[in-house]
Chain A
Amino acid sequence: MSTAKTRWVGVDLQDSDDTRMLVEAMEVDNPDVTVRHMPGIVKLQSATELVIKRETVEEKVGRPWETHEFQMNIVSYAGNISEWDDDQIVIKWEH
């Protein structure tokens, strides 16, 4: 018998103005997310999955936002990009 180790999923974002709003949106849609600020980057982690929803981001940034803009902010990620369509991006482990 063993305790299952937590399999974190995460995303590291560049610490910039645009990212601030993105992080706020992610905090809304991911109640269990932890956010850590380090020099130049913001690290977001979850024990389950991370979701980025276009609608939430648009509310926060106050303008139309396309999911592929996310590429401008991302530094690195841990996990699997399970979905990336018009409305949302989901990062999680599949199996």
Chain B
Amino acid sequence: MGYELRTKVVDPKRNTFTYLVERFGDKPASRYQEASFNIQPVENFHYRPTWDPAHAIYDADYTALKLTDPYSYTDPRQYYYTPYVANAAERYESFAQTLKYIEERRLLDRLPENWHLVVTDFVIPLRHYESGAQLISVNASRFAFGTTVEQPACFAAFDRIGNAQLLSLVGLSIAGGASETLTEAKKNWLYSAALQPLRRMIEELLVERDWAVALIALDFIDSQLYQLLYAHLDDRALYKGAGAYSLLARHFNDWYGGHKKWLRALVKAWANDPDHGDANRTVMAAIADRWYPRASEAVRTIAAGVAEQAGSTSALAAADRSAAETAGELGKIGITVTEGVPV
């Protein structure tokens, strides 16, 4: 090839794809935009699902919550596949370093007995909670309408299995690489009184047909549960000489802080939608009426278990605080919570 670029300028003819020009104007687009806007098919589907003939293959009616323009919502983190896995890889590497440090110094063995019990009887069993949360999230990924909405749900599903696996690694570590702790953890998940309201709620959310209802109700739990176990108890752990607990808890707390961003932004989008905002708020208030008390009860029951079995004097108050704080946060973004908030 004998072309000479110095005397010829090869100007681009287009700045970006037409669908982005229509939305953002005629200028270069970001990788997030190119990969996330207008990707999902919206019309002219060929066959109705044989597994749900009342709906189309992609259908805004898989939920009662509507957006006039599904692409009015974007993930504040601007995650598409590549930055998502890069960030996740860093998190897992960091956790692996933490766990290695803990193992080398046998810090789990050296936890005060009651803290050890909190880990084995309350925290490790949550590997199953995270597994249930994953199913709820991946369901949203399939049935949400619009790529910018379903994409973060997909990543959340992956995160939840990640959380479940990290908890499992801690369980393996406690048992010196064997399965005993995990076997016990499963028994606790199935039979321990402190965990049954949580398990029951997750199971009921698994049969909730509206993917958004399940996702929102799951967050009612997450917000309170993470505050109790991974924020409040993290602080207490340091104070009480249970350093290993703090080291591990902060990973989960950090994760939730990031996860919260995309989901709360979606709630805001629903609450403030130009055409559907009012109707959405009514729907979300009804979701809160039904599920918030259940979430608070589930978390409070765990706190009561920690108080009774591990002698915590602060857990119940922390659970009440997190119930109130979460309700306050949700109220600010459009979910009116009146039930299940301690007076």
A and B in direct contact, judged by CB atoms within 8 A: no
